[in-house]
Amino acid sequence: MNRPARRQLETWVEALGEGRLTRRTFLRRGLALGVTLPVLADIVRLYTPAAAETAPTPQLLERIKKEGRQLFIANWEEYVHPHTIPRFAKEFGVKVTYDTFPGNEQLLAKLQAGGARYDVIFPTHNFLPIYRAQGLLAPLNHEYLPLFSNLLDKFRQTSFDPGNTYTVPYSWGMTGLAHHTVQTRDDPRLGSWALLFESGPQRYSGKLGLTDEREEVVAAALQFLGQPPNTHSREALREAGALLLRLKPHIKAFYPGVEAKKALITEDLVVAQSWSGETVKAQAKNPAVAWALPREGGTGWFDAMAMPKVAPHKVTAQAFMNYMLRPEVAAENANTTGYATANRIAVEKYIDPQVAGNPAIYPPAETLARVTFLETIPDDVLPVYEDIWTRLLGA
């Protein structure tokens, strides 16, 4: 590195250490200057200011004590850092019962049945209007959420929960294609949903996978057909259903996210509709796994923390949500799960540089432009989706 470039880097390092330059900006400038990512990552770790703890007040701990010092959580599998729950339990003096669920439909059904008395749940954005309409959620007291301002603006005050009355955005990601580069390297349909719908039956029959989320499966077929994934057109939906029925004999299984990851690692799947984070984790175990957002587009989603109306430990639940909003906690979770955090401070200061630079987790603007966030299915269109799904699973 020549002397002017070294001086420029030193100026940026000083700005990073003083908090005048975000990690992402520093990384982008450093890479443009020709500095390698490992060197930049070491600089970031050395010069980023340490996280400030937001310890619970004695008053909050007393309220948690009165509630019984217990917390019941239902979350997606492998969706927090292994230390997150134990550290919260120790700091707040709480016994945590932690369950996982495979999909949104299963979690919603548990809440609708009335037998699941969870304190914190993690539903996906397009299911939130259903929870709200059915009166399944308790409103949040934002006095217990002083770190709410840490969230990115685009995840605050969304149409799915105006004013964030019921939810605290947690994590977000994309649904696209995972594939094994050794088997697909000469496939002319790479980068398109055609890899699944056209090459799939011809070249990878029995090695194809779809998610077990109805809306996402139908959306993939719609996008391949050139239709908007949130269309209400019954004709377009029926065409998508027919396409999926033709593909069904070649599908190995409909996978929850974590199970798809395992099948990709073992190469039981060659091409799969997959969540971005699960593909990232599969690639860490098997470098032949690759992620692609199809040129026709993919879907986007965010999961949020919410408090069921029947939650028995509401103060403790909101203390947990605020704990999860600590930027260092949010960053640790994001670094582990392979999904992007909705926490602005975590993104700016604490995300691991190699994670921040992974386009499957934090996509560039041109990729994000091809991502459509799914909407809640209207009641008048829901029977069409139910018919598609019933036929597809029964075929």
Buried-exposed string 119-144: b where 16+ CB fall within 10 A, e elsewhere: bbbbbbbbbbebbbeeebbbebeeeb
- Token pair, residue 376, equals 């809640």
Binding residue positions for spermidine: 78
What is the C-alpha to C-alpha distance for residues 235 and 241, in angstroms, rounded to an integer?
10
Task: Say if residues 106 and 275 touch (Cβ distance below 8 Å).
Answer: no
Give one DSSP letter per residue of 228-273, joined into a string: -TT---HHHHHHHHHHHHHHGGGEEEEE-HHHHHHHHHHTS-SEEE
Task: Say if residues 97 and 73 touch (Cβ distance below 8 Å).
Answer: yes
Could you tell me whether strands 167-180 and 371-373 are parallel, antiparallel, or unpaired per DSSP bridges? unpaired
Binding residue positions: 78
Amino acid at 273: Q
Give one DSSP letter per residue of 160-229, joined into a string: TSGGGSSEEEEEEEEEEEEEEHHHHTT-TTTTSTHHHHTHHHHH-TT-EEEES-HHHHHHHHHHHTT--T
Amino acid at 303: D
Sign of the four-CA dihedral 320, 326, 331, 332: negative
Nearest of 302, 365, 345, 304 to residue 151 by alpha carbon: 345
DSSP H or E run through 121: strand 120-121
What is the C-alpha to C-alpha distance for residues 263 and 257, in angstroms, rounded to an integer?
10
What is the C-alpha to C-alpha distance for residues 259 and 251, in angstroms, rounded to an integer?
15
SS3 104: helix
